[in-house]
A and B are shown apart, each in its own frame.
Chain A
Amino acid sequence: AQSVSQHNHHVILSEAASLELGCNYSYGGTVNLFWYVQYPGQHLQLLLKYFSGDPLVKGIKGFEAEFIKSKFSFNLRKPSVQWSDTAEYFCAVTASTSGTYKYIFGTGTRLKVLA
């Protein structure tokens, strides 16, 4: 079955530290990949997405993600985090198989940035 794994459930960083959140998916076909962010008390919003072309995708607020097809990974990165990046981050995959559509979210990574 298709799945999305986020291995880091909780991450604590100091401001200016570099961030990398892991995301691995299990699906052998064509996928679209997304990172969503949920700030405290708010709803999810799109951070960035990949569907084709350059595997290095740049999103809002200085975030980027790299699609590595051979590793089934789509890790999220930011060179220098800020206190305002404290949020929960969700990786998601869409895939179609045998006419069935799936939009699968990972379990989320809760990031806390210390001022």
Chain B
Amino acid sequence: DADVTQTPRNRITKTGKRIMLECSQTKGHDRMYWYRQDPGLGLRLIYYSFDVKDINKGEISDGYSVSRQAQAKFSLSLESAIPNQTALYFCATSDFSGITDTQYFGPGTRLTVL
């Protein structure tokens, strides 16, 4: 689904480096999310944003920061990458209707920290 795009799709970096993962959406949704997926742990929420001026920490925000540059863009930064941040990262948007909140995921970014 090209409505939610992520760049880069794959990245290998070294410990201590600063990394930025970018997410863009054309769905017009206000809500955006960053998750990481680890085998056996499912998806865990890192940060979420309900609109451009609203940023919230998720379950595992330590070591990460985000920026909501516009309704359509939500970036995730690792200020100083460490090996245990090696994971698959997903961006998502959602169309909260006041009743239900379906998420639409991007293709993911596979990050390896050496």
Contacts and interface: CB of A to CB of B under 8 A. Distances in A.
A107 interface: yes
Interface residues of A, number: 23
Secondary structure at the A interface, as helix, strand, loop or mixed, is strand
Interface residues of B, number: 25
Contact of B100 (A6, A49, A90, A108): A49
Contacts of A9: 40
Contacts of A83: none
Contacts of A72: none
B107 A43 contact: yes
B82 interface: no
B101 A32 contact: yes
Given A103-B33, A106-B42, A108-B42, A43 B108 contact: yes
Interface string B72-112: 00000000000000000010101000011111111110000
Interface string A99-115: 00101111110000000
Contacts of A56: none
Nearest 3 pairs between A and B by C-beta?
Answer: A107-B42, A51-B100, A105-B43
